[in-house]
Amino acid sequence: MFTIKAVSQATGVSIETLRAWERRYRVVEPRRDPNGRRSYDPADVIRLRKLREATERGHPISKLARVSDDELTGLLATGSDGPAAGEAPGFAAQMLAAASEYRPEECDQALSMALALLPLQRVVDEVMVPALLEVGERWHAGEFSIAQERIVSNAVKKQVSLVLDTYNRIAAGPPVVLATLSDERHELGILMCALLTAARGVRCLYLGPDLPPADVATFAERTGAAAVVLSFVRRETASGGEQALLAEFLRRLPRSIGVWIGGQGALAFEPAGLGERVVRLDDYRGLERELDRLTAATR
Ligand code: B12
């Protein structure tokens, strides 16, 4: 449920206009919380966005108010991809503004709004990754404290885990395991992979960061995984420690299970040391291609 302020930011309709549209035309009827404050659900937000677009195209709000959601969609004939490209960065900016002001709930709300309005892949590409990268930059530059970094990362982790839960309930076929190996604590890259995996309808077993290779291998074997996705973000140890960990992992993992690796660290690995078994992915699109191949082969 969203506040009037969040809805105003997400729809581009001012708070005064939202109140006026409701009072005069009952375009949406938000619930009220115990303090009498309006509380909108995702369907309200989607409808209000469409109403704004339609009024911008010259349709009077007095007429639009009586139009059903389907008729409104037809009127706009805008496909189902949500806000046009270029509008989504607004959500990342809202998350960052909320973290700057130490407002974790608003950060959460901006992200859950993005998830309500956009396809998952666009949330990853246009909201989560840009927000996380910008947080990283600010943290490095000393402009963001660790607590502010946590406001954003925790919002991402919370929302991703809610999405994984929902998608896993309807996912089919053998699962894909996602993790990072010992001492790789950068978690957010692999978390995005988990979201993209779930979005493809593949069952997603997210183990998280910093696991001994033997544990991941045993887990993948026992859960009947089709593939394991590993992220390597750090580069400085890539030529030595990281690649040795991967080699140990490969020795312990049954050969029938696929191994997909990615991240800046993985890109620096010696190709010769990887062998034929490992698929190195350049980016998230590469991951999606592998997932599509997997689903085509197992369904
Ligand atoms: C947040 C952060 C941390 C947090 C991580 C918290 C967490 N829960 O993840 C903490 C504080 C733990 C941390 C610690 C360290 N960090 Co740090 N960290 C960052 C920071 C600021 C952001 C990383 C991030 O989350 N980005 C967002 C995610 C979405 O992007 P990403 O990880 O870059 O991944 C992208 C790609 O690599 C790819 N990808 C990643 N994984 C995968 C997997 C697959 C399959 C695919 C297809 C793609 C893919 O997709 C992503 C989007 O493009 C970066 C700097 C930066 N601006 O990137 C440094 C950075 C990654 N850290 C760095 C370093 C050096 C460290 C420390 C060694 C610092 C220290 N001296 O203690 C430790 C190491 C800890 C450890 N043992 O792992 C360096 C790495 C340098 C290098 N290339 O080797 C960086 C680049 C900072 C720098 N410029 O020096 N860090």
Residues 9-28: tens digit of each pLDDT:
777 788 999 999 999 888 89
| Ligand 1 geometric centre to CA of 234 (Å) | 6
- Which residue's alpha carbon is at the smallest distance from atom 5 of ligand 1? 186
Local confidence band at 80 (pLDDT 50, 70, 90 cut-offs): very low
Local confidence band at 82 (pLDDT 50, 70, 90 cut-offs): low
Nearest to residue 89, comparing CAs of 44, 134, 153? 134
| Ligand 1 geometric centre to CA of 265 (Å) | 9
Angle between helices 188-199 and 284-298 (to 10 degrees): 40
Do residues 218 and 254 make contact, with C-beta atoms less than 8 angstroms apart?
no
Among 24-33, 42-51, 82-91, top mean pLDDT goes to 24-33
Q: What is the CA radius of gyration of the chain?
A: 22
pLDDT average, residue stretch 151-173: 87
Cα–Cα separations (whole angstroms), residue 87 to 3, 112, 134: 20, 16, 17
Residue 288: partners with Cβ closer than 8 Å, 6 or more residues away = 121, 196, 200
Is the Cα torsion angle 23, 29, 35, 39 positive or negative in sign? Answer: negative
| Ligand 1 geometric centre to CA of 184 (Å) | 9
Q: In the chain, what percentage of residues exceed pLDDT 70? A: 94
- Which residue's alpha carbon is at the smallest distance from atom 10 of ligand 1? 186
Helix (H) / strand (E) element for 204: namely strand 202-211
Local confidence band at 277 (pLDDT 50, 70, 90 cut-offs): confident
Indicate whether residue 53 lines ligand 1 (CB < 6 A).
Answer: no
Residues 84-136: tens digit of each pLDDT:
555 565 889 999 999 999 999 999 989 988 888 888 888 898 899 999 999 99
Indicate whether residue 140 lines ligand 1 (CB < 6 A).
Answer: yes
Phi and psi based region of residue 59 (left: phi greater than 0; alpha: psi -120 to 50; beta: remaining): beta
Cα–Cα distance measured from residue 37 to residue 35, given in angstroms and rounded to the nearest whole number: 6
Within the chain, where are the H helices?
4-11, 15-25, 42-56, 61-64, 69-76, 89-100, 104-117, 120-122, 129-140, 146-170, 188-199, 213-222, 243-252, 264-267, 284-298
Do residues 184 and 232 make contact, with C-beta atoms less than 8 angstroms apart?
yes
Taking the model in full, what pTM does it have?
A: 0.79
Cα–Cα distance measured from residue 93 to residue 134, given in angstroms and rounded to the nearest whole number: 10
Q: Which two tokens stand for residue 151?
A: 């406001």
Q: Which two tokens stand for residue 12?
A: 């581009």
pLDDT average, residue stretch 162-190: 89
| Mean pLDDT of all residues belonging to the chain | 87
pLDDT of residue 167: 81
pLDDT average, residue stretch 136-142: 91
Q: Which domains does the chain have, with CATH numbers?
A: 4-76 (1.10.1660.10), 89-161 (1.10.1240.10), 171-298 (3.40.50.280)
- Which residue's alpha carbon is at the smallest distance from atom 46 of ligand 1? 262
Give the nearest ligand 1 atom to 232 CA: 41
Cα–Cα separations (whole angstroms), residue 272 to 59, 74, 83, 277: 63, 55, 44, 11
Do residues 77 and 43 make contact, with C-beta atoms less than 8 angstroms apart?
no
